[in-house]
């Protein structure tokens, strides 16, 4: 158990942005919103998974929608607690702990807003170990945990609680509602007991994000390679260093979808890398050959600063380095691949192991 103060979110947001594989929403926006909530209501307590009582009621707090929208349509700051209260009314009991659904950008910061406003502790762990675009893509699903009931709330005060027959239907119906509510909503869902957390969450990912962000910052201060510092901490492999020469991006069905093309520089001169994304980077082709696929992490960092580059911020001329990072091994089980492997997203390939 430890207390997190607003200034500590600087490193944590940077690290979460890297782990978010391009998605999860802009970490800078999320950090500012969370810091404001913490300055108004006080610091947030985060607790280790093993510190949560067995009979606790743990609720995931997150945002849903196209990350591109969050850059233009700022939230009201009340959506998270509004969604939580609507879910509690359906459950007929109060949450005792909150958790992030993913360790990615804005969605790692959003739970801090609700935790500060409610005084509830935040669990140091998440349900993905990265970010994924769809609600059913969570490790708790592998042990039978349902995403529903799910409560969604928008910036206007509208709320909706979904009771569905499957996690996939939760995603479909919530996504439809999200589009009608402006392509950006807050969610409260994936209710778990404390004794389910060890089996279903990736532990200590908020701490990992903070340590990762600190390592990048300290490398910059020491004038060493911040990308190498990130790769060392994550056991990552460099896929290419290059310049962004083309980005095709569109908002469709509540997602930011598209492709980016990089041309190598330095030791990667005359090489190319193509990235395909749906909120998050899902597949990488180097010189036409697939070298990395979901559920492994494909992370894009600014080559000079080590700052994360989200899919909505990819633009022509950026100098970036792309890292491949191993996912939590549970994602490579048959159930994990079925949920978030490349064929689910329409790519005609099986999972491709990262190069060594």
Residue-level pLDDT, tens digit, the chain, 356 residues: 999 999 999 999 999 999 999 987 788 888 999 999 999 999 999 999 999 999 999 999 999 986 666 667 777 778 999 999 999 999 999 999 999 999 988 899 999 999 999 999 999 999 999 999 999 999 999 999 999 999 999 999 999 999 999 999 999 999 999 999 988 899 999 999 999 999 999 999 999 999 999 999 999 999 999 999 999 999 999 999 999 999 998 877 767 789 999 999 999 999 999 999 988 999 999 999 999 999 999 999 999 999 999 988 899 999 999 999 999 999 999 999 999 999 999 999 999 999 98
CB 71 within 8 A of CB 312: yes
State residue 69's pLDDT score.
Answer: 66
Query: 226-234 and 9-19 are packed helices; what angle lies between their axes, rounded to 10 degrees?
Result: 70
List 245's β-bridge partners, or say none.
Answer: none
CB 142 within 8 A of CB 335: yes
Distances in Å between the Cα of 84 and the Cα atoms of 15, 59, 120, 330, 354 are: 26, 8, 12, 28, 39
State residue 113's pLDDT score.
Answer: 96
Query: Computed from CA positions of residues 160, 165, 167, 168, in that sequence, does the dihedral angle turn out positive or negative?
Result: negative
- C-alpha to C-alpha distance for 278 and 297, rounded to whole angstroms: 13
CB 141 within 8 A of CB 190: no
State residue 29's pLDDT score.
Answer: 84
Helix (H, G, I), strand (E, B) or coil at 318: coil
State residue 135's pLDDT score.
Answer: 94
- C-alpha to C-alpha distance for 242 and 302, rounded to whole angstroms: 10
Bridge-based pairing of strands 97-100 and 57-65 is: parallel
Residue 316, CB half-sphere, CA atoms under 13 Å: how many?
Answer: 3
State residue 71's pLDDT score.
Answer: 64
CB 281 within 8 A of CB 311: yes
Torsion of CA 312, 314, 316, 320, to 10 degrees: 170
Distances in Å between the Cα of 321 and the Cα atoms of 215, 228, 305 are: 17, 10, 10
- By CB atoms closer than 10 A (0-12, 13-18, 19+), residue 350 is exposed
User: Which spans in 64-143 are helix H?
Assistant: 67-70, 79-91, 106-118
Residue 201: CB atoms within 10 A of its CB come to 27
pTM of the full structure: 0.94
Residue 6: CB atoms within 10 A of its CB come to 19
Enumerate domains of the chain plus CATH numbers.
2-203 (3.40.1610.10), 225-345 (no CATH)
State residue 26's pLDDT score.
Answer: 81
Query: 9-19 and 205-221 are packed helices; what angle lies between their axes, rounded to 10 degrees?
Result: 100
């Amino acid at each position: 158990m430890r207390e997190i103060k607003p200034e500590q979110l600087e490193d944590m947001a940077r690290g979460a942005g890297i782990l978010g594989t391009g998605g999860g929403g802009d970490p800078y926006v999320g950090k500012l919103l969370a810091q404001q909530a913490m300055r108004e209501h006080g610091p947030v307590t985060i607790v280790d998974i093993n510190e949560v009582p067995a009979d606790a009621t743990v609720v995931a707090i997150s945002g849903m929608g196209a990350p591109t929208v969050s850059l233009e349509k700022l939230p009201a700051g009340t959506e998270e607690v509004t969604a939580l209260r609507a879910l509690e009314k359906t459950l007929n009991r109060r949450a005792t702990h909150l958790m992030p659904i993913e360790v990615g950008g804005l969605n790692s910061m959003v739970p801090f807003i609700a935790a500060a406003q409610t005084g509830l502790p935040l669990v140091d762990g998440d349900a993905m170990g990265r970010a994924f675009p769809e609600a059913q893509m969570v490790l708790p699903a592998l042990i039978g945990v349902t995403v529903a009931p799910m409560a969604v709330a928008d910036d206007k005060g509208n709320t909706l609680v979904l009771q569905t027959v499957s996690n996939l239907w939760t995603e479909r119906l919530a996504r439809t509602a999200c589009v009608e509510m402006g392509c950006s909503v807050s969610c409260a869902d994936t209710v778990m007991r404390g004794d389910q957390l060890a089996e279903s969450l990736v532990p200590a990912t908020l701490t990992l994000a903070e340590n990762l962000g600190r390592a990048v910052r300290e490398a910059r201060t020491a004038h060493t390679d911040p990308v190498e510092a990130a790769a060392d901490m994550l056991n990552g492999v460099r896929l290419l260093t290059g310049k962004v020469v083309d980005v095709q991006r569109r908002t469709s069905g509540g997602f930011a979808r598209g492709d980016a093309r990089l041309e190598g520089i330095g030791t990667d001169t005359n090489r190319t890398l193509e990235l395909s994304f749906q909120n998050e980077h899902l597949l990488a082709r180097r010189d036409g050959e697939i070298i990395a696929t979901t559920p492994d992490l494909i992370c894009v960092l600014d080559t000079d600063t080590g700052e994360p580059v989200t899919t909505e911020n990819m633009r022509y001329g950026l100098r970036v380095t792309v890292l491949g990072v191993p996912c939590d091994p549970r994602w490579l089980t048959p159930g994990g691949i079925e949920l978030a492997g490349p064929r689910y997203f329409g790519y005609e390939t099986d999972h491709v192991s990262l190069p060594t």
